[in-house]
Amino acid sequence: MAAAGPAASVTLYEIGAILLALGIFAYIAVRLRISVVPIYLAVGLALGNGGIAPLDFSEDFLKTGAQLGAILLLLMLGLEHSGPNLVDGFLERKSTGIIDLAANALPGAVIGFLLGWGVLGAILLGGITYVSSSGIAAQMMKESGWNKSEVSRRVTTVLVVEDLALAPYLPLVSTLVAGLGALAGVISVAVALGITALALVISFRGRNAFAKVLNTSSPGALLLTVFGAALVAAGLSEMVGFSSAVAAFLVGLILTGEVAEAVRLRLSPIRDLFAAIFFVFFGLAVDPADIPAVLPLALLLAVLGIAGKLFVGWTVARRMSDPRAWLRAGAFLVPRGEFSILIAGLAASTAFGSYLQALTMSYVFITSLAASIILRAVRSPLDRA
User: Residue 295: phi, psi to the nearest 5?
Assistant: -60, -45
Please give the Cα distance from 282 to 131 (Å, whole number): 18
Tell me if the pTM is above 0.95.
Answer: no
The predicted pLDDT at position 29 comes to: 79
The predicted pLDDT at position 62 comes to: 66
The predicted pLDDT at position 1 comes to: 46
Contact, 44 vs 279, CB < 8 A?
yes
The predicted pLDDT at position 188 comes to: 66
The predicted pLDDT at position 17 comes to: 75
Residue-by-residue pLDDT tens, the chain, 385 positions:
444 556 667 667 777 777 888 888 888 877 777 778 788 888 888 877 666 767 666 666 666 777 777 787 778 777 776 666 666 666 666 688 889 999 999 999 999 999 999 888 999 999 999 999 877 887 777 766 666 677 877 887 888 788 778 777 877 787 778 776 666 667 766 776 677 677 667 766 655 556 556 666 676 777 788 888 888 888 887 776 666 777 787 787 777 767 777 777 777 777 777 777 777 877 777 888 888 999 999 999 999 999 999 999 999 888 777 778 888 889 999 999 878 988 888 888 888 988 999 999 899 989 988 988 888 887 654 344 3
The predicted pLDDT at position 243 comes to: 66
Which residue segments constitute the domains of the chain, with CATH numbers given? Answer: 19-26+34-384 (1.20.1530.20)
